[in-house]
Amino acid sequence: MRNIQNYKDKRVLVVGMARSGVAAAQLLHQAGAKVIVNDSKTADALGDALAPLNGLDIEYALGCPAGECLNGVDAMIISPGIPDTAGFVLKAKEMGVYVTGELEMAYQLSSGEMVAITGTNGKTTTVSLLGEIFVNAGRTTHVVGNIGYPYSAAGLNSEDGDMFVCEVSSFQMETAETFHPRAAVLTNLTEDHLNRHGTMECYAQTKMRMFQNQTAEDVAVFNADDPALESLIPQVKSRVMLFSRKAEVENGAFVRGGMIVTRWQGVEEILCPVTDLYIPGPHNLENALAAACIATACGVSGEVIAHTFRTFRGVEHRIEFVRELDGVRYINDSKGTNVDSTIKAIQTMDRPTAIILGGYDKHCDFTPMVKEMLASAYIREAVLIGVTADQIERQCRENGYTRVHRADTLGDAVEQCRALAGEGWNVLLSPACASFDMFADYESRGRIFKELVRELR
């Protein structure tokens, strides 16, 4: 255990009792802290979410603002959904309270080796694929972070030989201080979360905090095909690996003659044909190349990497086949929470498709997606839902895409798509937006979509 920050006998306020906050409270309690848990919701409203804390000597401050709980507190742990500019966070810092996020705190109190992945898109698939590679290599592996399983939960029972594969969001990096992955990937950068970060420059630099503690002994991996990353690469102090599906690279992973190849420290290895990769689409080839870089840098054999490429079946909510009914294939891409992610889903379609778009407004421009819809031979109809429906319809029509329909609910959208689609079509949920206007999260949206589709008769 690193014990970078000493929490023993300190009064620590944990704000936000979602999964990461509950796990943080457990880990802090194990570390000897005097834990106070806070949420604006009452205990009744939180319900079973607090069950893991039953029997622990923990103080509860529920149903009240966090700013009212700061007196006598030594440290405060905030969830990723809370910006570090929130009023009560600034107040705590002014009072001399140590403030950090769940991910940073979990890293401080956990054992084991850690690699990390960030980027606008591809994080979840790359993390899941890489976790599978390490499992197949015989490592005790924890896939944690923004993927939905808190780092703190795995940290409760971690040991020195364990491998952590961590999905990192820009929100989590706002509070990163000592977070230090042995190897880390930046998959890509496109417009996202500007409602929180303000500018692309701020968004990019927040992502780059993941590399700030790396040394010349560590590895930083970048997508050579993304021009947005070119100016960021010189900022790192670590050894650089690149991945590309378009050109050979000096150190990293690439495609040559239809084969996936790695090259690292003077050793080149042919892993397998691109066609052996089970998960479809050019974006998943990029994810596989990124995973190959990290695995190679960590000493995993090419044979294990290639075997995992052939057998890994993908992740829930990312271009996930749900069912086929009357010759129509229904595909759940609820993880498509931004424009670039949905563009990648559109590029994967190989049949006429009715797409469901819209959701929570993150202040993004949908024009690149609309242009991709126009360029595609397959996006025949679009059904719009959510807060952004007006904006998407306007940008569709301004750019000449007129096959637009409106739905009040996701159920209505599914029914409309069923009526629009014929035999040999796809119905694709890939909203290009977050879910918070209508659903708890993208997982909830995806599962409800799957339930609606399975109920069709």
Supply the DSSP string of 174-221, one letter for each residue. Answer: TT-SS---SEEEE----S--HHHH-SHHHHHHHHHGGGTT--TTSEEE
Structure confidence at residue 8 as a pLDDT band (50, 70, 90): very high
How far is residue 310's CA from residue 32's CA, in Å, rounded to a whole number? 45
Note the pLDDT of residue 251.
98
Structure confidence at residue 236 as a pLDDT band (50, 70, 90): very high
Structure confidence at residue 190 as a pLDDT band (50, 70, 90): confident
Structure confidence at residue 237 as a pLDDT band (50, 70, 90): very high
295 Cα distance to chain centroid: 19
Note the pLDDT of residue 3.
65
Note the pLDDT of residue 197.
57
Mind listing the pLDDT tens digit for each residue in 37-57?
Answer: 999 999 999 999 999 999 999
**Bridge partners, residue 320, by sequence:** 332
Note the pLDDT of residue 418.
97
Cβ atoms of 194 and 203 closer than 8 Å: yes
Average pLDDT, the chain: 94
pLDDT at 439 over 80: yes
Mind listing the pLDDT tens digit for each residue in 343-395?
Answer: 989 999 999 999 999 999 888 899 999 999 999 999 999 999 999 999 999 99
**Bridge partners, residue 318, by sequence:** none
pLDDT at 192 over 80: no
**SS3 state at 260:** strand
Note the pLDDT of residue 239.
98
Note the pLDDT of residue 194.
58
Mean pLDDT across 305-334: 94
Note the pLDDT of residue 195.
61
pLDDT at 107 over 90: yes
Mean pLDDT across 11-29: 96
Note the pLDDT of residue 193.
57
Structural domains of the chain sorted by starting position, each given as residue range(s) with its CATH number in brackets: 11-101 (3.40.50.720), 110-311 (3.40.1190.10), 320-454 (3.90.190.20)
Q: Which of 133-137, 163-167, 336-340 has the lowest mean pLDDT?
A: 336-340
| Model confidence, pTM | 0.81
Mind listing the pLDDT tens digit for each residue in 253-285?
Answer: 999 999 999 999 999 999 999 999 999 888 899
How far is residue 77's CA from residue 208's CA, in Å, rounded to a whole number? 22
How far is residue 254's CA from residue 22's CA, in Å, rounded to a whole number? 41
Note the pLDDT of residue 363.
85
By DSSP bridging, strand 219-223 and strand 141-145 are unpaired
Tell me the torsion sign for CA atoms 273, 276, 281, 284.
negative
pLDDT at 104 over 60: yes
83 Cα distance to chain centroid: 17
Note the pLDDT of residue 191.
62
Question: What number of H helices and E strands is found in the chain?
Answer: 16, 20
Residue 28 exposure: Cα atoms within 13 Å on the Cβ side? 34
